[in-house]
A and B are shown apart, each in its own frame.
Chain A
Amino acid sequence: MSVVVTTVVRFILPFMQLYGFYVLTGTEGPGGGFQGGVILASSFILYAITFGEGVDGRWVKAFKSLGLWIYAGVGVLAVFYSLFNAEFLNYSATFLSIMVPHTVARGVIIADVIEVGIGMAVCASFVSMFFDVVARGEEK
C-alpha cells in the first residue's frame, strides 16, 4: 500500500476504535451492541487490508464464544442467582443487588455488560467472515 494510505489509516484507526467503543457502551441505556461491534470490526478489517496481516483464528473463535457466553450467561445467572424467582434476562435481579440498590440503575449497568458481550461476538463474527472469504479467494 502507498505511504498515503498507511499514514492516513494509522491516524484514523484510534478514532474509529474509540467511536466503536462509544457506540458500544458510551450511551445511556440499552442498544448499540451490534452497531459498535460492526464499527470495531471494520477497523480491524481496514488494518488488515492496509498492512496485509491476518488475525489468529483461535482468538476469533474465543471472542465469538465469550461474547455469547456473556450475553446468555448473564441471563441464566439472573435465574440462578435469584433462586428461580426472577426471569431469564431480568438484569435487575443479578449479583449487583447488594452494591447498587436502585433496580433501574442496576439494569442499566448490566445492560452495558451485555452490550460488551454482543459487541465482542459481532466484531469477531464480522472479522472471521472477512478473513474466511479472503482466504478462500487466495487459494484459487
Chain B
Amino acid sequence: MIDILGYYNYWGFVILLSIGLYGALACENYFKKMVGLSIFQTAIFLLFISIADVGDFATLGLKSGTAPIFWEELHDYRYVNPVPHVLVLTGIVVAAATLALGLALIIRIYRDYGTLNEEELRWKL
C-alpha cells in the first residue's frame, strides 16, 4: 500500500495530466480549453520537479543530490537536482505566453462572434 501511496506526486501528475488533456481537447467552450491546457502544462511541471528529487542515497554510502554551485564541504547536505527547476521556470514563462496569446484571441473571437462555443464557431468557418 505504501508503495503506491508513496508516489503521491506522480499520481497527482497522472490525474492532472488526464484532466488537462480532456479539458483541452474535449471541452466545447474555448475558455475551458485554455484552462485545460494550463492544467495539462502544470502537470508536466509537477513531473519535472518530482523527478528532480533524486532520493537519499546516504544509507548506501553515496553522496546524494548535490548541487554543483555549492562547495565541496557542504556535500553532506542533501539538495535536489536544480536543473529541472530551471527547466520548469522556462516552461512557466512559455506557458504564460501561450495563455496570454490564447486569452487575447478569445477576447477578439468573443467580440467578433458573440460566442465561444466550438460547435457554433465551427459553422462560421
A-B contact pairs, 15 of them (CB 8 A): A29-B69, A34-B89, A34-B93, A129-B100, A132-B104, A133-B103, A133-B104, A133-B107, A136-B104, A136-B107, A136-B108, A136-B111, A137-B107, A139-B111, A140-B111
A137-B93 Cα distance, complex, nearest whole Å: 25
Give residues in A with beta carbon < 8 Å to B.
29, 34, 129, 132-133, 136-137, 139-140
Report the separation of the CA atoms of residues A53 and B100 in the bound assembly, to the nearest whole angstrom. 22
User: Nearest chain A CB to B92's CB is how many angstroms away?
Assistant: 8
> CA of A140 to CA of B107 in the docked complex: distance in angstroms?
10
Which 8 residue pairs across A and B have the least CB separation, nearest first?
Answer: A136-B107, A129-B100, A140-B111, A34-B93, A133-B107, A132-B104, A133-B104, A34-B89
- Encode contact with A along B91-125: 1 for CB under 8 Å, 0 otherwise: 00100000010011001100100000000000000
Shortest Cβ gap from B123 to chain A (Å): 23
Q: Residues of A contacting B107 with CB < 8 Å?
A: 133, 136-137
Residues of B within 8 A of A (CB): 69, 89, 93, 100, 103-104, 107-108, 111
Counted as pairs of residues, one from A and one from B, with CB atoms less than 8 Å apart, the total is 15
Chain B residue numbers with a CB within 8 Å of A132 are 104
Cβ of A76 to closest chain B Cβ, rounded Å: 21
Could you say which residues of chain B place their CB within 8 Å of the CB of A34? 89, 93
> Which residues of B sit under 8 angstroms from A129, Cβ to Cβ?
100
Kindly list 13 other residue pairs between chains A and B, CB separation below 8 angstroms, not including A34-B93, A133-B103. Answer: A29-B69, A34-B89, A129-B100, A132-B104, A133-B104, A133-B107, A136-B104, A136-B107, A136-B108, A136-B111, A137-B107, A139-B111, A140-B111
How far apart are B62's CB and chain A's nearest CB, in angstroms? 27
Question: How many Å lie between the Cα of A41 and that of B93 in the bound state?
Answer: 15
CA distance A82 to B90 in the complex (A): 29
The interface residues of chain B lying within 8 Å CB-to-CB of A29 are 69
A27–B9 alpha-carbon span in the complex (Å) = 31
B93 / chain A contacts, CB cutoff of 8 Å: 34
> Within 8 Å CB of B100, what residues of A?
129
Chain B residues with CB under 8 Å of A136's CB are 104, 107-108, 111
Closest Cβ of chain A to B91, distance in Å, is 12
Would you give the shortest CB distance from A108 to chain B, in whole angstroms? 12
Determine the residue in chain B with the shortest Cβ distance to A140.
B111
Give bound CA distance, A140 to B100, whole Å. 19
- What residue of chain B has the Cβ atom nearest to residue A132's Cβ? B104
What residues on A are CB-neighbors of B108 within 8 Å? 136
Residues of B near A139 (CB, < 8 A) are: 111
